[in-house]
Structure 1
Amino acid sequence: MDVKATVLAILQDLTGEDVSGDMNVNLFATALMDSMDTVQLVLELTNQLGVNIPVSEFDRSQWDTPQKIVDQVEAKLQ
């Protein structure tokens, strides 16, 4: 399972942008994502990768870049 590729594909679907060239772009500060996109991101991560992300544990500052999302998902899969 390629977590990075899956996360990037989900982000591209949600944002309409290929963010693979800048893994540290802040998805919220640049308005690429909003709260509705966040919900969809969590659902897609659960569906595609089997990752359980309780809303109570979702801290936007820890999920605001593609790299942080990959890191968080990989940590939850271990």
Structure 2
Amino acid sequence: MNVKSEVLEIIDDLFMEDVSERMDEDLYDAGVLDSMGTVELIVELESKFDITVPVSEFGRDDWNTTNKIIAGVEELRNA
């Protein structure tokens, strides 16, 4: 599986939302993510991809869409 499909699967599993057709939609505005959901998502991403997401790097505007989350994971994996 690639990062994109794994991130989509994590979001679907955690929040029961298929966002594959809404890759650039703000997940907070859409009601998919909230503060607790963000924590759950970070924990899952860190576990699944063996990365550490620094709190300073997880700004709402930096990780608010599925495409931005995928890009952030890929960047941290390549760091």
Q: Same fold judged by TM-score > 0.5? A: yes
Please tell me the residue identity of whatever aligns with 1:50: D
How far 1:57 sits from its partner (Å)? 2.2
Aligned to 1:44: 44
The Cα RMSD (Å) is 1.1
The two structures have a TM-score, normalised by structure 2, of 0.91
Deviations 1:23-64 (A, max 9, x none): 111100111110101001100011111111022321110100
How far 1:14 sits from its partner (Å)? 2.1
Higher helix share: 1
Work out the CA distance in 2 between the residues paired with 1:22 and 1:68: 12
Q: Structure 1 runs of 4+ off > 3 angstroms?
A: none
- Gaps spanning 5+ residues in structure 2: where? none
- Gaps spanning 5+ residues in structure 1: where? none
- Counting aligned pairs with the same residue, the percent is 44
Aligned length: 78
